[in-house]
Structure 1
Amino acid sequence: EKSDRPFRCLDCQYRRELVRVYLTNVEGICRRFVEERRTKLGKLIEDQPRWS
């Protein structure tokens, strides 16, 4: 499979819908990952005794 044309063997409309749903899921996963890391980093920065 080429990355610029995923699911080539499927109907064009179905492929478009599948990619849209897939990308929405990936965006959600990435957003949660970034939020988790941001929260952990914030807690680490606020932990003054650890830096003293």
Structure 2
Amino acid sequence: MRLGSVVAPVLRVAGAPIGFAAATLIRLIRPVASSALQLLVVSDREEQTSSDA
């Protein structure tokens, strides 16, 4: 069975709600994403320096 023929009917019905949920999730994550990435970089650097010692 082909994936497209299975997914197409679902996307016709659920495509808009899935898109709305994805857009909402992105809007919620965007304000904290930069800070979260900075924390990851700092923690990764600390981890690397502690493993080098």
TM-score by length of 2: 0.46
The structure with higher relative contact order (CA 8 Å, sep 6+) is 1
Structure with bigger helix share is: 2
TM-score by length of 1: 0.47
